[in-house]
Amino acid sequence: MVTLLLDSTRLEVALSKVERALSFRKENVLIERSAIKKVQLTDDAWMWLRGVPDPGTHLWGVAAMGTWKSAGGTDFALIRRHRAGVVIDLEGHDEFERVILTTRHGLALVQALQLDGEAELAEVTEIAATAPVPVQPERPAGSKPGGKKKPRTSPSPAPAT
């Protein structure tokens, strides 16, 4: 499982020994917070994978780890099975245009990135756990999201032939 560390200036994707070996990386992936353009949650990280591993490991449906090069740019992928994940679009990063990760903590990452960061690195799940939980206002029973009810229309009669 991916370990995500965050402080006031950067996000660090901490790689285990196995992840380092399969992704052919010696160091963790470091991303300045200012380089993060957009973060998206996804049900299946495989659909965001583009290009070919260079260098990296690809076992279709099982694992995709490492650097992926395509005409659209260079991405870093750390995907296991068909699990939920997060796609981080970058702007001005010296190595990657996008980082694709499978993680159970995607929502916690989004919440932690919205907060002012701490001075020292901490796990994303710990940061999100201490943050206030956003509360949605309650809707009246039977109402739909968006507020207005749509008026019912009866079907028009078929034209006579």
Could you tell me if residue 141 is inside a domain? no
145 domain residue, yes or no: no
pTM of the model: 0.70
Give me the mean pLDDT over the 80-100 stretch: 92
Asked whether residue 54 is domain-assigned, the answer is yes
CA distance 43 to 45: 7
| Residue range 15-71, pLDDT digits in tens | 999 999 999 999 999 999 999 999 999 998 899 999 899 899 998 889 999 999 999
Residue 131 has pLDDT above 80, yes or no: no
pLDDT the model gives residue 142:
59
Inter-residue contact 14 to 4 (CB < 8 Å): yes
Query: What's the whole-number average pLDDT of the chain?
Result: 81
Please indicate, yes or no, if residue 119 is contained in any of the structural domains: yes
Query: Is residue 136 one of the residues assigned to a domain?
Result: no
Q: How many domains does the chain have?
A: 1
Mean pLDDT of 91-120: 83
* Alpha-carbon gap, residue 154 to 161, rounded angstroms: 21
Q: Is residue 150 part of a domain?
A: no
Q: How far apart are CA 52 and CA 75, in angstroms?
A: 10
Instruction: Of 89-93, 120-124, 129-133, give the range with the top mean pLDDT.
Output: 89-93
Q: What is the mean pLDDT of residues 121-133?
A: 59
Burial class of residue 30 (count of CB atoms within 10 Å of its CB; 0-12, 13-18, 19+): middle
* Chain centroid to CA 151: 38
User: Tokens representing 75?
Assistant: 């991405």
Res 133 pLDDT > 90: no
HSE value, Cβ hemisphere, 13 Å, CA-based, for 8: 4
Looking at residue 26, its pLDDT comes to 93
Is pLDDT at 115 greater than 60 in this prediction? yes
| In-domain check, residue 69 | yes
pLDDT at 74: 94
> Does the pLDDT value for residue 146 go beyond 70?
no
Which residues have CB under 8 Å from 15's CB, separation 6+? 23, 25, 28, 29, 78
Helices (H) and strands (E) in the chain, counts: 3, 10
Model confidence at 107: pLDDT above 60: yes
Question: Does 140 map to a domain?
Answer: no
How far, in Å, CA of 139 to CA of 48, rounded? 35
**Whole-angstrom Cα distance, residue 137 to residue 119?**
33
Instruction: Give residue 67's domain range.
Output: 3-130
pLDDT band at 1 (very low <50, low <70, confident <90, very high): low
Q: Answer with the residue of higher pLDDT: 40 or 146.
A: 40
